[in-house]
């Protein structure tokens, strides 16, 4: 599969819980960090957006947990993006690097509020194609 953006990361021990595996909420952190790094690479800073009263809001997130990541695992956090009306839909996959097994698959709907109003404010056209293929 082809992605618009890929980020190599590594599990930190404090992200693991009692069961010895990465706590589920941390995948959301991984995915958020990947989106923000992707936006930065596209010239869009989350912190600057916040300072300009442009708020990006996650409206909905779905994560399917496939293979638990553990202490010391490296992983590849990948994303594609498509636009659906006012929403940006991020398709985010996390692969364990050692065997490229799918660890988690997420779909994240993001909307932007400019001074409190829904707006299509991100200039992401060039990232929308040709990466994302409709199912």
Q: Cα–Cα distance between 108 and 56 in angstroms, integer?
A: 12
Do 61 and 107 touch, CB atoms closer than 8 A? yes
Return the number of the residue (2 or 12) whose C-beta is nearest its own copies: 12
Is 98 in contact with 50 (CB distance < 8 Å)? no
The correct pick among 71, 98, 119, 133 for binding its own copies (CB under 8 A) is 71
**Smallest gap, in angstroms, from Cβ of residue 45 to its own copies?**
7
Is residue 114 involved in binding its own copies (CB under 8 A)? no
Neighbours of 111 (CB within 10 A): 18
Catalytic residues: 17
Site residues, its own copies (CB under 8 A) = 12-14, 16-20, 23-26, 28-29, 32-33, 36, 40, 45-47, 50, 55, 57-65, 68, 70-72
């Amino acid at each position: 599969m082809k992605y618009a953006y890929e980020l190599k990361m590594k599990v930190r021990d404090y992200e693991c819980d009692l069961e010895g595996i990465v706590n589920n909420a941390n995948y959301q952190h991984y995915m958020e960090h990947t989106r923000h790094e992707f936006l930065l690479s596209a010239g869009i800073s989350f912190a600057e957006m916040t300072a300009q009263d442009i708020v990006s809001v996650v409206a909905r997130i779905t994560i399917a947990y496939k293979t638990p990541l553990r202490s010391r695992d490296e992983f590849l956090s990948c994303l594609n993006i498509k636009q659906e009306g006012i929403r940006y839909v991020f398709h985010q996959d996390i692969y364990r690097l050692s065997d490229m097994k799918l660890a988690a698959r997420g779909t994240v709907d993001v909307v932007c509020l400019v001074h409190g109003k829904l707006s299509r404010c991100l200039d992401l056209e060039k990232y929308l194609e040709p990466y994302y293929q409709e199912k």
